[in-house]
Structure 1
Amino acid sequence: MGRGAPVTMTVSSHQSTVTDVLGRPLRSLRLSVTDRCNLRCAYCMPEEEYVWLPRENLLSFEEMATLTSYFTDLGVDKVRLTGGEPLLRRDLPRLIRLLLQNRHITEIALTTNGILLADQIQALYEAGLHRVTISLDTLRPERFRQLTRRDEYARVLEGIESVGRAGFTGLKLDTVAIKGFNDDELISLIEFGKHYQAEVRFIEYMDVGGANNWSADKVLPLESMLAILGKHYGAIEPIPGRGAAPAQRFRLSDGTSFGVIASTTTPFCAACDRSRVTADGMWYRCLYATVGNDLRQPLRDGISAEDMRAYIRQGWEGRRDRGAEDRKALERVGMREARLIGIEKLREDPHLEMHARGG
């Protein structure tokens, strides 16, 4: 099947946008296809061994497409495929083709570490994938090895180079900016992004889960990033029209754009329209949430489409989550780091760590 070729799928003909208690619409779905990863990044999953989600609990692609259709009936129009590392899930292009049968979906994006991308990029493009985001935290092979505990830097570069050749545009490169580790590479990363027509997005180090050894003194805040870049490039202009996007975007004098996701120091909870579904069907309405809703069991028990939509609608309409703002408020009483979840608790419930819920 050619890229974006029309296919037929039975979906509701009526799409209604649901809003939560704070008036935030249900618009974006992050769909994790696996909790496994082929890296061990210090800020995400630094332990060598984890308690993995039972394979029999993982949703099939058909189940993922069905669950997604309930979300799109309630307003979702953008889907991002995540992991773990999503390219570890076999035959991912088949899921993309299934999702594109849903006419409510206007965009399917993929977030990947890039290691397996070069081998799969053409099949992803032909399946109809719209955009690719690649994680790239350093341009120094020795730092990459230190951060990820794997020697895969060259394969990540191959993945980045393959994106444009396959025909994709709009590549984004995500960099977790860590003070004292890669804060001396911001300019190099911007220049690297220019070479590949990619927009770099710097992400403040986040205190999600707890095994990542987060501490406030490792956070490189938005204003510090802008100061570093401004000293080199001169005037930096904010780009208006952020909407519900997580990144604040900026423009350099030569027209180069970049983004900063500043959820640690400048939370954007008031505009957050994202839901997360794990590979085994747990639904989280906030990245920081410690409790989710099991969608897999009712789906496998044969719940009707009407009842499932009602269940999701009710869950979103009752949503009050402002997780990043709540964490920020803890700074005033010196309790932010105390709220990190211990490794033993994470082993008891693997859903609590970021790699299981798609970041």
Structure 2
Amino acid sequence: MKGRRIVKHPRLIDSFNRNLTYLRVSITDRCNLRCMYCVPPRALIPRLAHSEVLRYEEILRIVRIGVQLGITKIRVTGGEPLVRKGVYDFLAELGRIEGLKDISLTTNGVLLKDNLARIQNAGIKRLNVSLDSLYPERFERITGYDCFSRVWEGIEAAHSMGFSPIKINTVAMKGINDDELINIAKLSFTYPFHMRFIEYMPIGDHHLDRNVRILAPEIIERISPLGELVPIRRDIDGGPAERYRFRDAQGEIGIIQPLSNHFCHLCNRLRLTAGGQLRPCLLSDRQEDLKGIIRKGCLDGDIVKLFLQAVRFKPMEHHVDTGEPEEIRATMSSIGG
């Protein structure tokens, strides 16, 4: 392969002195659910043609170069990554890249239970699982499919097999699941899970009414009857969540506040979309076309240049505010959750 030899390169440090060490990699824009906050009812979301999706060898090449530039953490996402053929061999190849310290997987959990051994054998220890309701009928309303039991059985099986941490992601939505936020938070007493509540973000041409949003102060108020929330010190690579623990709880609570309390100044990530675009910010449509140059036969040095260009254009903060929201045209499924 051309240009595999890389000499010393600068680190991925942006204009605001943030050292970017985390790459989120979407391997598909396909999903086996239609969650209302990602694909609202009646919305027709175009999908990439198979030929337009990055091949696994292209992703691995990009990741290897990213590691040379200082990337140490990878999260594999989709769409739903487990629907893509060959994903388990890909995860194993990813785990063999020297210099990666942390590889994790985000999934909706539908295919989790039957494939946990393959995921574990590939070297994955950390899981993020979406779970927006504990009621099967409501789960079906939110996701479009009657899969709650399969998802919950997958989460429990992952716990029994020693995956850790298991992070459970819940998008908080007024009038949809806000009445059960306290019950979801209560799981942190029974399990060592990281229960994470996420403020809904209006992304793409099709999104829910902004009135469904519940901001962090109200989320905390909803779960406060469970007891005092004790703050947990944020790790350097711990992600965007404000972390807490209820006294005597096994697990913890995380609040992700993209709207009410921007964490942009702490952001250390880039995103690689399934279509081969390198995005410096989730909430900005600025991106660099890695697939285009790779398929023209570029050298590794050309990929390095686009990494550095993406870093140079990483904004200090996003402008998707509660008062004056900015429209993001790309959908979450195409960017990678």
Give the structure-2-normalised TM-score: 0.92
2:227 corresponds in structure 1 to 234
2:99 corresponds in structure 1 to 104
- Within a 5 Å distance, the mapping from 1:58-77 to structure 2 comes to 58-77=53-72
The C-alpha deviation readout for 1:285-326, integer Å capped at 9, x for no partner, is: 111122321101211222111222122113213322522xx1
- Tell me the CA shift for residue 129 of structure 1: 1.0
1:149 corresponds in structure 2 to 144
The C-alpha deviation readout for 1:255-275, integer Å capped at 9, x for no partner, is: 442100011111111111111
Find out whether 1:223 has 2:210 as its counterpart.
no
Does the 8 Å CA contact 1:59/1:281 hold for their aligned counterparts? yes
- Tell me the CA shift for residue 340 of structure 1: 3.4
Name the aligned partner's letter for residue 29 of structure 1: L
- Tell me the CA shift for residue 168 of structure 1: 1.3
2:79 corresponds in structure 1 to 84
2:194 corresponds in structure 1 to 199
Count of residue correspondences? 331
Residue of 268, 290, 295 corresponding to 2:290:
295
* SS of structure 1 residue aligned to 2:109: coil
* SS of structure 2 residue aligned to 1:19: coil
- Within a 5 Å distance, the mapping from 1:1-359 to structure 2 comes to 16-46=10-40, 47=42, 49-215=44-210, 217-230=211-224, 232-243=225-236, 245-255=239-249, 256-320=251-315, 322-323=317-318, 326-328=319-321, 331=323, 335-336=324-325, 339-340=326-327, 352-359=330-337
After the TM superposition, which of the residue ranges 55-64 and 43-52 deviates more from structure 2?
43-52
Between the aligned partners of 1:280 and 1:161, the Cα distance in structure 2 is 33
* SS of structure 2 residue aligned to 1:66: helix
Name the aligned partner's letter for residue 250 of structure 1: Y
- Tell me the CA shift for residue 194 of structure 1: 3.8
1:3 corresponds in structure 2 to none
> Aligned-pair RMSD on alpha carbons?
1.9
Q: Show structure 1 runs of 5+ residues with no match.
A: 1-9, 347-351
Name the aligned partner's letter for residue 221 of structure 2: A
Residues 252 and 167 (structure 1 numbering): CA distance in 2 closer, same or farther, change over 3 Å? closer
Q: Show structure 2 runs of 5+ residues with no match.
A: none
* SS of structure 1 residue aligned to 2:18: coil
After the TM superposition, which of the residue ranges 29-38 and 16-25 deviates more from structure 2?
16-25
Q: Percent identity?
A: 34
Does the 8 Å CA contact 2:280/2:313 hold for their aligned counterparts? no
Residues 187 and 291 (structure 1 numbering): CA distance in 2 closer, same or farther, change over 3 Å? same
- Tell me the CA shift for residue 93 of structure 1: 1.4
Does the 8 Å CA contact 1:233/1:252 hold for their aligned counterparts? yes
- Tell me the CA shift for residue 26 of structure 1: 1.4
Name the aligned partner's letter for residue 44 of structure 1: C
Name the aligned partner's letter for residue 82 of structure 1: T
Does the 8 Å CA contact 1:206/1:214 hold for their aligned counterparts? no
Name the aligned partner's letter for residue 240 of structure 1: R
1:4 corresponds in structure 2 to none
* SS of structure 2 residue aligned to 1:315: helix
Between the aligned partners of 1:187 and 1:106, the Cα distance in structure 2 is 34
Name the one with the larger helix percent: 1
